[in-house]
């Protein structure tokens, strides 16, 4: 039987981490790059590199642009949340009937936008705690062991190809509660990331602002409960404190985005949360204030606030 190719849309940190591990397991992988100049740069480089535990290996994974002819049956979307919808739109005409799309984006909002754009496809949401960064163009460093939760909010059966992830050494589990997972991670990110940007500090230094974190967690718990996510609210404050301690020496992903002058995913984190709170009539004064301060901070640095 012919194996279905994995089309990877976005060869950044996480996309490269998935692509190289799938290719290393002998699975057919295709990278979809932004434009002909990215394709030329990739061809000149000769492949995609993965550094793991000090070992570096390069994989000559075939690449193409959005306008290639090959039909797409399985698509892994590895762009940032704000790029996911336009990126999928660029390949929508290539999706087969019954195509499956895995969405790796952090936060919430981008997944529903993609699902609405391509209702003929099955959208599988992924919540990933793995860590990766690019040390140079088309080269990724596997920086943090983690886990991938996969699920279908429409509650279909687990797909057959999960065994391919096992074969590729991609840690994962299928869950019927993917939305709980995504909401929980969103709440954790909203409790930690904006404050690290506003206080200009590592995660651990938030221990000195414990009262502020606690007050934020109280509001987050109320939002989760009022918008139908009570599971995601259980023990939130304790987990936030545990994560702050366990990642004390790290800079949050939002802090790193701002420090490097990159656009943040604020709209899909605090933005999504404040919108959900408003829709459910939940008063979130503190979260709204932090969102406004963050927007001002980003604007002051010349960064987009959406």
Which residues are identified as catalytic? 185
The secondary structure of 35-55 as a DSSP string is SHHHHHHHHHHTSEEEEETTE
Residue window 214-243: x/- pattern of binding to ligand KPL, with contact defined by CB under 6 A? -----------------------------x
Q: Is 79 in the site for ligand NAD (CB under 6 A)?
A: yes
Which does residue 200 bind out of ligand NAD, ligand KPL, none, counting CB within 5 to 8 angstroms by kind?
Answer: none
CA 114 to chain CA centroid, nearest Å:
14
The answer to whether the CB of 188 falls within 8 A of the CB of 241 is no
Beta carbons within 8 Å of 32's beta carbon, 6+ residues apart: 7, 8, 9, 10, 63, 64, 65, 66, 68, 91
Rounded CA separation 264/82 (Å): 9
SS3 (DSSP) at 34: coil
Q: Which CB sits closer to ligand NAD, 79 or 282?
A: 79
Residue window 245-284: x/- pattern of binding to ligand KPL, with contact defined by CB under 6 A? --x----xx-------------------------------
Q: Out of 49, 72, 75, 105, name the contact with ligand NAD by CB under 6 A.
A: 105
Rounded CA separation 188/286 (Å): 15
- Partnered with residue 14 across adjacent β-strands are none
Q: Which CB sits closer to ligand KPL, 44 or 249?
A: 249
Q: Among residues 247, 243, 264, which one has the least CA distance to residue 107?
A: 264
Q: Is 32 in the site for ligand NAD (CB under 6 A)?
A: yes
Which does residue 118 bind out of ligand NAD, ligand KPL, none, counting CB within 5 to 8 angstroms by kind?
Answer: none
Look up residue 205 and give its two tokens. Answer: 């230094």
Residue window 169-188: x/- pattern of binding to ligand KPL, with contact defined by CB under 6 A? -------------------x
Find the helix packing angle between 210-226 and 236-246, rounded to 10°.
140
Residue window 248-277: x/- pattern of binding to ligand NAD, with contact defined by CB under 6 A? -----------------x------------
Rounded CA separation 295/303 (Å): 9
Which does residue 247 bind out of ligand KPL, ligand NAD, none, counting CB within 5 to 8 angstroms by kind?
Answer: ligand KPL
Q: Which CB sits closer to ligand NAD, 80 or 291?
A: 80
Instruction: Give the angle 33-38-40 at the CA atoms, nearest 5°.
Output: 115
Which does residue 47 bind out of ligand NAD, ligand KPL, none, counting CB within 5 to 8 angstroms by kind?
Answer: none
Q: Is 105 in the site for ligand KPL (CB under 6 A)?
A: no
Q: Please report where in the chains the tokens 């939940």 appear, as a residue.
A: 282
Q: Among residues 259, 44, 223, 225, which one has the least CA distance to residue 138?
A: 44
Q: Which CB sits closer to ligand KPL, 22 or 213?
A: 213
Q: Is 11 in the site for ligand NAD (CB under 6 A)?
A: yes
Which does residue 192 bind out of ligand NAD, ligand KPL, none, counting CB within 5 to 8 angstroms by kind?
Answer: ligand KPL
Q: How many residues line the site for ligand KPL (CB under 6 A)? A: 8
Beta carbons within 8 Å of 119's beta carbon, 6+ residues apart: none
Q: Which residues bind ligand NAD (CB under 6 A)?
A: 9-15, 32-34, 78-81, 83, 86-87, 90, 104-106, 128, 130-132, 134, 265
């Amino acid at each position: 039987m012919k194996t279905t190719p994995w089309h990877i849309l976005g060869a950044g940190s996480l996309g490269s981490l998935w692509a190289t591990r799938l290719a290393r397991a002998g699975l057919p992988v295709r990278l979809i790059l932004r434009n002909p100049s990215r394709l030329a740069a990739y061809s000149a480089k000769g492949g995609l590199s993965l550094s793991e535990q000090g070992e570096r290996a390069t994989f000559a994974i075939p690449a193409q642009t959005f306008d290639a002819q090959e039909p797409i049956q399985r698509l892994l979307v590895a762009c940032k949340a704000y790029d996911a919808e336009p990126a999928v739109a660029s390949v929508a005409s290539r999706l087969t009937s019954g195509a499956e799309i895995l969405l790796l984006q952090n936060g919430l909002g981008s997944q529903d936008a993609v699902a609405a754009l391509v209702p003929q496809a099955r959208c599988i949401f992924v919540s990933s705690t793995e860590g990766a960064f690019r040390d140079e163009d088309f080269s990724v460093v596997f920086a943090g062991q983690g886990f991938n939760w996969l699920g279908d909010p429409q509650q279909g059966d687990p797909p057959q190809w999960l065994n391919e992830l096992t074969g590729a050494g991609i840690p994962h589990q299928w869950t019927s509660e993917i939305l709980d997972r995504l909401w929980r991670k969103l709440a954790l990110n909203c409790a930690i990331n904006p404050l690290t940007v506003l206080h200009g500090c590592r995660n651990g230094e938030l221990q000195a602002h414990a009262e502020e974190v606690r007050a934020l967690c109280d509001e987050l718990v109320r939002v989760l409960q009022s918008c139908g996510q009570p599971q995601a609210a259980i023990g939130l404050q304790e987990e936030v404190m545990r994560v702050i301690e366990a990642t004390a020496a790290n800079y949050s992903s939002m802090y790193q985005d701002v420090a490097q002058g990159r656009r943040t995913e604020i709209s899909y984190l605090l933005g999504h949360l404040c919108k959900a709170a408003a829709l459910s009539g939940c008063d979130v004064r503190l979260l709204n204030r932090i969102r406004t301060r963050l927007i001002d901070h980003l604007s002051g640095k010349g960064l987009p606030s959406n």
